[in-house]
Each structure stands twice: as structure tokens, then as C-alpha cells.
Amino acid sequence: MSPAFAIARREGGELLTSPRGLAWLLAAAFAFTGFALLLVGSTQLGLLDNAQVVYDMAGMTIALGALLTAVMGVDAVAGDRERGALLPLLATAAPRRAILLGKLGGQALAWLAMVALALPYLWAVGSTGQNLGAALVGLVLLGTPVALAIGAGAMALGARLRSARAALLSALIGLMLVASPLAIGPSLRQSALGRGFDAVNPFSGAVNALDAMVIDGQALAAQGWHLALVFGWLALAYGLALRALHAPRRPGEEIVS
Amino acid sequence: MIRRTILAAGALAALFALAPPPARAADGAAPAPLEVTLAPDAANPPAPRMGDRLTYHAVIRNPSPTAEASGVVAWLTILRVDAGHEQAIDLEDWSANKALTIPALGPGGSARSDWSLRLIAPGTYRVLVSAATRDAPVPAIGTGAIFSIAPKPVVESARVLPVALGVPAALALLLVARLFAGRRGAAPEA
């Protein structure tokens, strides 16, 4: 078994089988349930178009998945370092690229668990089902790189910053910033600043593509720029994480010093 | 709903019972009934769907050249006119402005009011605005054109509730089972 696969299985399995991981999924389920109950409990929200509700639920899934990978990313490096588990891992013969890929693989499993958790909710709110396919394709093709880019960015922060707490705080603040398009609708982002932010923000890329596919019924092929944006950020975050795992924070200082 | 109707009827009855004697025109004739005209807003969607908003503008006019119309109450009514489903609609979710009172309308005077509707259910409807005074025995009614509300797919509670309650319950059971299994596994052997 390759080191990357073994690490991915351990990290992902920890989430899916440990009580702590199940508690996280339960908390995410409560968030989905709260949103779903809001929809059926309010006449105004209940009149939202079916496609709009599916889009909202898909955006919420990406946000929750990104939150999960951000926490896992910080924990995978800074948490392991504070528990004394990182040094033995780095001391093995496994190349750091394989270690990084393994930890990202664990986050990918967690993200897939989040998508699986969201599926029944998407089915429930998408009454007629005509938008479900587009939402699922969008979640997998656009949500996955966003969640993994945030996870990789969190790993880079975990490697660069001295304490896990500082890394976690920085990662969560960064996540709130990039996920702000969920709270600020497209019509409110039409200023030059809003458009500029949308043009470079991977989260905006994902939700704007979901908007176009789920609500406007556009084809995936028309989302080339959004796909390039989210995969570009994934490549950048991967490079930063790999560099942070390799390079010392300061001259003469190792990542686990 | 029934209690609200009784209360509204009681309030109207009290309004009419406590009212001063009918105002008479200078020539002693009974006051002329009000006139109500109702027109849709130009910005209303031509083919409305559930969730859209419609606005109607009503003008309530006192045509009498001499008598004042006092204690004017105007209210909105929505009638569903689909064959087999004819009914007056409870305005609970449809409109926040259900009734309007005007203390007095001078001779020849008029008042304008806007009525906003949120389209809640599909079907064919007619909007009416009625206006009554203390003195006029029959309310004046202004009617809008019949319009149809097209359905659109919205969230169905019957599908959402089992999922919204079932998924957390299943995960909670799984968590409890996992905790229980972990405790049993960790228990020292006798």
C-alpha cells in the first residue's frame, strides 16, 4: 500500500468511524436540518423557487465541507505537531509529497462524506428533481477543488504558524472571508470591488457556477472560467502546502522544531 | 379564523351601532354610495407565478356634491373563481394590508390606496376592493380583472420533514452505538 493511500485511509477513517468524526457529521446534519425546517416553516421561504433552494443547499454544503477540511487541514499538521505525531511521520521514508497527498486524501474522504450527507437533503428540497443532477455535478466538480484548496491552505497555515490555535483562527477567518458570497447575494456584489472579489475568489467561482447551472440551467461546458479558477486555487494551495512542509519557517528552524 | 371573523364582524357592527345619525345632504336626500375603481399596477408581471407580487391601486370616491361620507372602511377581498374551487381566500399570507379606514371623505373627495399581494397558491382569482360608510347601506365594490397564477415547484414539507428529522436521528443512533461499542471494547475483562 502506498504511503499516501495509507495516510488518507487513516485520516479519513478517523472522521468516518470515530465518535468525534461522527459528532462532526451530526453537527453538519443539524445545520442542514435547521435550514430545511426554516424552508418549510416559513411561507415566504417556502415559496422560494425549487432551483433556488437546491442552489442554497448546495452552497451550504460547500461551506460546511470547507469548514471541515479547514479544521482537518490545521489539525493534520499543527495538531499532529502539538501531539508529537508529526515528527515520526516526517521521519519515515515517505516523501513529503506523499504525506501531503495522503492528508489531502483524508480531507477528500471527509468532503465526500459531507456530499453524501447532503444528498438526502438536496433530494428533499428539490421537489421535482430537475435540478438535482446539475447540483450534484456542480458539487463534485466545483465543490471538491474548493474544499481541498481550503484544506491545503489550512495545512500550509498549520505548518507556517507556531501554534495550532493561531493557525485554526487564521484559517477560519480566511474561510469566512472567502465564503462571504453565500451571505452577500450576486446582486449585492455588482460594485467594482464585488466583481473583482468574485473574479479571484474560488468560493465565488463555485457558487456562481452553481447558480448558472442549477438556477439558470446553463451547461457545465459554459463554466470554463469558474472551473479554471477553482482548480487554479487548488494547485496554488497545494504548492503552498508542499512548500510549507518542505521549507523551514526560519533559517535553521524545521517544521517540527 | 372563525374567531377573527366574529371579531371583525363585531367591530364593524359596533362601528355602525355607535355611529352618529346618518349625515344627510343639504337637500335631505340619503347619501350617495361611494365609487371604487381598481387598477393593476403597470409593473405587475403579465403572467404571474406563485411567489410573485401584484399591486393594485384603488381610488375611493365620494360622488355626492353635498354630503360628507364619514367612517369609510375599505377592505380587500380575493376570490378564487376556478370551477369547483370557488371560495373567498383568507388573506393571512396574501396581503399585509387588509383594511383601511378613512375618517371622512368630503363631498366629491377621493382617497387613493395601494394594495399589495403576494401570490401564494396557483389558480384563477379576482381581486375586489369594497368600501362602506356608516350611512351607505350597501358597500361599493371595485373589481380587478381575473388573473391566473401559474404554479411553480416549491419545497414540499412532506418530503422535507422525514429527511430533516430522520438523518440526524440516524446519525445520533450511529454515534451512540459507536460510543457504546467503544466502551464495551475498553471494559476490563473479568
Do B59 and B36 form a contact (C-beta atoms < 8 A)?
A: yes
CA distance B173 to chain A (A): 10
Asked if the Cβ–Cβ distance from B155 to A117 is below 8 Å, we say no
Positive or negative, the CA dihedral A173, A177, A179, A180 is positive
Asked if the Cβ–Cβ distance from A26 to B154 is below 8 Å, we say no
pLDDT of residue A125: 87
* Lowest mean pLDDT segment, chosen from A80-84, B39-43, B186-190: B186-190
- C-alpha–C-alpha distance, residues B134 and B72, integer Å: 7
Q: What DSSP string describes chain B?
A: -HHHHHHHHHHHHHHHHSSPSPP--TTSPPPPPPEEEEEE-TTS-SS-BTT-EEEEEEEEE---SS--EEEEEEEEEEEE-STT--EEPPTTTT-S--EEEEEEE-TT-EEEEEEEEE--S-EEEEEEEEEE-SS-SS-EEEEPPPEEEB------HHHHHHHHHHHHHHHHHHHHHHHHHHHHHHSPP-
Residue B22, pLDDT > 50, answer: no
- C-alpha–C-alpha distance, residues A54 and A44, integer Å: 16
In this structure, what DSSP letter does residue A186 have?
A: G
- C-alpha–C-alpha distance, residues A41 and A119, integer Å: 21
Contact residues, chain A, for B167 at CB < 8 Å: 29, 32-33, 117, 120-121
Asked if the Cβ–Cβ distance from A43 to B120 is below 8 Å, we say yes
Do A134 and A213 form a contact (C-beta atoms < 8 A)?
A: yes
Q: Which of B74, B134, B137 is closest to B101 using CA atoms?
A: B74
| pLDDT, average across residues B10-15 | 47
- C-alpha–C-alpha distance, residues A110 and A174, integer Å: 20
CA distance A56 to chain B (A): 13
Q: Which residues of B touch A (CB under 8 A)?
A: 50-51, 93, 118, 120, 152-157, 159-168, 171-172, 174-175, 178-179, 182
Residue B21, pLDDT > 70, answer: no
- C-alpha–C-alpha distance, residues A9 and A13, integer Å: 6
Backbone angles phi, psi at B149, to 5 degrees: -110, 120
pLDDT of residue B181: 82
| pLDDT, average across residues B157-184 | 88
Above 0.90 for ipTM, yes or no?
Answer: no
Contact residues, chain B, for A39 at CB < 8 Å: 155, 160
- Residue B85: which residues within 8 A CB-CB, separation 6 or more? B123
Interface test with B, best of A26, A50, A119 (most B CBs within 10 A): A26
Asked if the Cβ–Cβ distance from A36 to B168 is below 8 Å, we say no
Do B59 and B162 form a contact (C-beta atoms < 8 A)?
A: no
Q: Which residue of A has its CA nearest to B119?
A: A47
Asked if the Cβ–Cβ distance from B155 to A128 is below 8 Å, we say no
Count of CB contacts below 8 A, A vs B?
Answer: 87
Of chain B, the percentage scoring pLDDT greater than 90 comes to 40
Q: Which of A17, A29, A47 sits opposite B171 (nearest CB)?
A: A29
pLDDT digits (tens, 9 = 90+) for B110-161: 999 999 888 888 899 999 999 999 887 789 999 888 899 998 777 777 888 9
Asked if the Cβ–Cβ distance from B174 to A48 is below 8 Å, we say no
Per-residue pLDDT of chain A (257 residues; tens, 9 = 90+): 688 888 888 888 877 778 888 899 999 999 999 999 888 877 667 777 788 889 999 999 999 999 999 999 999 999 989 888 888 888 888 888 999 999 999 999 999 999 999 999 999 888 766 688 899 999 999 999 999 999 999 999 999 998 899 999 999 999 999 999 888 877 777 788 888 888 999 999 999 999 999 888 888 888 999 999 999 999 999 999 999 988 655 554 556 55
Secondary structure (3-state) at A131: coil
pLDDT of residue A239: 95
Contact residues, chain A, for B51 at CB < 8 Å: 47-49
Asked if the Cβ–Cβ distance from B159 to A33 is below 8 Å, we say no
